[in-house]
Amino acid sequence: MINQDFLSNVKILQPIIKPIFCDGKLIYSEKHRSRCIIILKRNLREEFSSLSGQYSMIKYRLECFRNDYKLFKQRVDDILVKKKGIPILLYLYEEENAANTPKEN
């Protein structure tokens, strides 16, 4: 179960302009032997001035609800009521390209 007080206990970064749409790729990490690195695009980084500080420690919390849409809606409603937090939708999908497609004879 998730910690319901999480939003009350942290300082949430706020963007300058909304909404933001961007596409990106997961980068392969040799250390982790998987595609697990997300590099934020410039338009997203520019919305959060705190991200440009080399010495500030910025953390994140990801909440993945799988197929529990009722709990997901409760969390979104909680964010809307408290007006604290930034709902970010992240879709992970495989890109179809020639490199992954078997060649026909």
Give per-residue pLDDT as tens, 46-74.
877 777 777 778 788 888 888 899 999 99
DSSP 54-76: SS----------TT-HHHHHHHH
**Euclidean distance between CA atoms 1 and 61, whole angstroms:** 14
The one-digit pLDDT tens for each residue of the chain (105 residues) are: 455 676 677 777 766 666 777 778 888 888 888 888 888 888 878 877 777 777 778 788 888 888 899 999 998 888 888 877 777 888 888 877 746 555 554
Torsion of CA 17, 95, 91, 59, to 10 degrees: -70
> What three-state secondary structure class fits 35?
strand
pTM: 0.60
Domain parsing of the chain, residue ranges:
12-82
Please check whether residue 57 is in contact with residue 11, taking contact to mean a CB–CB distance below 8 angstroms: no
